[in-house]
Amino acid sequence: MPSEPSPRIALIHALEESVLPARTAFAAHWPQAWCFDLLDTSLAVDLGAAGGLDAAMMERFERLADYATGFPGKGGRTQAILFTCSAFGPAIDAVKTRLSVPVLRPNEAAFEEALELGSSFAILVTFGPSREPLAAELHAMAAARGRRITVKTILVDGALAALQAGDASTHDRFAAGACHGLDGVDALILGQFSLARAADAIRDITAVPVLTTPDCAVRALRARLGGR
C-alpha cells in the first residue's frame, strides 16, 4: 500500500530567529510533518515603528495566509498554518476566521498547557511589543474558561539584540538571569519562539515549570491533525 502523504504545514515568521526553534520542535515532536517557511522580517520592524497593528498590517497577514494555502505542492495543499510571531495575535485571529484549515497563534498551545497547571504565571519576552498583547491574550483565554489569573511579564533587555548579532550565549545568559528568584508562579512561559533555545539554561536556575511555545505548538498541531 502507498504510504500516507506527510501533512504539509506552513510556518509564517516575522523574525529570522524563530525559524530554527520551529524546525527543532517539529524534528523532536512531529518529524513526519513536511514544513515550509514564509519569512517577512519587515513585520516586526514595522510593528515597532507603528506602535501597534493597523489595517495595512492586518491585510499583510491575510495575504501571507492566502499565499501559504493557495497552491498545491509536496504533500498536497497546506493543511495547517503555524504563526511564530507573538506580537500579532489579533491579525492571526482575523486569519482564523477566513480559513478552513487550522491556524495556530504562536502562544496559544503554551497558554492552554499553562492553564492546566494553575492560575499564576510569568511570561518572559525579549521583544517589547509582545509584552502587553501576550498578557492580554492569556487573560482572555482564562476568562473564556471562567477563570481569574495573575500574569507577570518580564522583558529581557538586550537579549534579542545579542541573538541577532550572533551572540547566542549572551542571549541565553540574559534570559536565565532575568528568571533568578522567580517564585510564586505555577508556570513560566517563554513567550517567543526565539527564547526556546534558552529553556535549559532557565530550567537550571528555577524549579518553576518552563513551557516553550514551539514545543507546545507542535504537540497541539499534531494532535489537532490526528497525529499523522
In the predicted structure, residue 76 carries a pLDDT above the cut 80: no
Neighbours of 197 (CB within 10 A): 20
**3-class secondary-structure state, position 34:** strand
Confidence label for 221 from pLDDT (cuts 50, 70 and 90):
very high
Q: How many angstroms separate the CA atoms of 141 and 16, rounded? A: 28
Letter for the amino acid at 204?
D
Q: Hey, what domains does the chain have and what are their CATH numbers? A: 8-105+215-224 (3.40.50.1860), 108-213 (3.40.50.1860)
Q: What is the end-to-end Cα distance of the chain in Å, rounded?
A: 16
Q: Sorting pLDDT into bands at 50, 70 and 90, what band is 22?
A: very high
Q: What is the mean pLDDT of the chain?
A: 92
* SS3 call for 142: helix
The sign of the CA dihedral 24, 27, 32, 34 is: positive
Query: What is the structure's pLDDT at 227?
Result: 62
- The span from the CA of 159 to the CA of 169, in Å, is 10
Task: Provide the pLDDT for residue 204.
Answer: 96
**Which range is least confidently modeled, 13-22, 84-93, 159-168, 187-196?**
84-93
Q: Identify the band that residue 226 occupies on the pLDDT scale cut at 50, 70 and 90.
A: confident
Q: What is the pLDDT of residues 38-70, one digit of tens each?
A: 999 999 889 888 888 899 999 999 999 999 998
Q: Are strands 120-125 and 150-155 parallel, antiparallel or unpaired?
A: parallel
- Flag whether pLDDT at 3 surpasses 70: no
pLDDT at 86 over 90: no
Specify the pTM.
Answer: 0.90
**What are the residues facing 190 on neighbouring strands?**
124, 212
Please say if the pLDDT value at position 141 is more than 70: yes
Query: What phi and psi values does residue 190 have, to the nearest 5 degrees?
Result: -80, 105
